[in-house]
Amino acid sequence: MKAMGKLAIFGGAPVMPQGIQRTRWPRWTAAEMEELARVLTQEQIFGSDAPQVALLEQEWRRRVGVDYCAAVSSGTAALHTACGRPAWSRRRGAGPAYSFMATALAVLHQGAVPVFVDVQRHSHNLDPAQVARHVTPRTKALIVVHLFGLPADMDEIKRGGREARYCRHRRLRPRAGSDLQR
């Protein structure tokens, strides 16, 4: 393995050249801009009565095959909503060690302790072998993140949860709407 030189922050040569053109994300197409303008000019644009929100909930329910769906404003809000149930006191919420901070914050917000479970090198997602080691009687939930569009290995993660035998969250589901998961 090549020895690492001086870090760029200490005056070494940066790995990323200065002024490199970064990919802009997200990219909106003209059709999306048009649709956005159409939505923004509607009378009501947020809340469960807004036509576009109601349509999203209805289509998502159908796609995922569930009876209820509540649209929220962001991924962070979704995590808080999912964790927002009572009786978390002195409990733990396990999640991947490599993720966005919202994963751990949703657990902290419930007054519980986030437990960081190591991830796999190749997928950056929860390592199923580690799940069984970290799920204990105090674990209230295991939060599975499908990072960077790579689906976590749900079959193995569920097996790990079952092996731990304590896992209350028995009905771990694949990421809603994923075509890659069975």
Ligand X SMILES: Cc1ncc(COP(=O)(O)O)c(C=O)c1O
Contact between residue 30 and residue 36 where contact means Cβ atoms under 8 Å apart:
no
Of 100 and 166, nearer to ligand X (C-beta) is: 100
Binding-site member from 12, 75, 111, 137 for ligand X (CB under 6 A): 75
* φ/ψ (deg, to 5) at 166: -95, -15
Task: Supply the minimum distance, in Å, between the C-beta of residue 76 and ligand X.
Answer: 3
93, 99, 119, 120: which one contacts ligand X (CB under 6 A)?
A: 99
Q: Residue 145 CB, nearest distance to ligand X (Å)?
A: 5
Nearer Cβ to ligand X, position 126 or 131? 126
Residue-level length of the chain: 182
- SS3 breakdown of the chain: % helix, strand, coil, rounded to 5? 35, 10, 55
- Of positions 54, 57, 76, 163, contacts ligand X by CB under 6 A: 76
Q: Strands across the sheet with 139-142, in order? A: 113-117, 92-96, 139-142
Least distance to ligand X from the beta carbon of 101, Å? 8
| 80-90 burial code (b ≥16 CB/10 A, e <16) | beebeeeebee
Q: Residue 100, interface with ligand X (CB under 6 A)? A: yes
74 binds ligand X (CB under 6 A): yes
Cα gap 112→181, rounded to integer Å: 30
Compute how many residues bind ligand X; rule: CB under 6 A: 9
Report the half-sphere exposure of 111 (CA within 13 A, side-chain side). Answer: 6
Closest residue to ligand X using C-beta atoms: 75
- Binding residue (CB under 6 A) for ligand X from 107, 145, 152, 157: 145
118: Cβ contacts below 8 Å, ≥ 6 apart: 96, 97, 127, 130
Q: Which is nearer to ligand X, 41 or 74 (CB)?
A: 74
Does residue 84 touch ligand X according to CB under 6 A? no
Figure out which of the listed residues 83, 94, 102, 154 binds ligand X, where binding follows CB under 6 A: 102
Residues forming the site for ligand X (CB under 6 A): 74-76, 99-100, 102-103, 145, 147
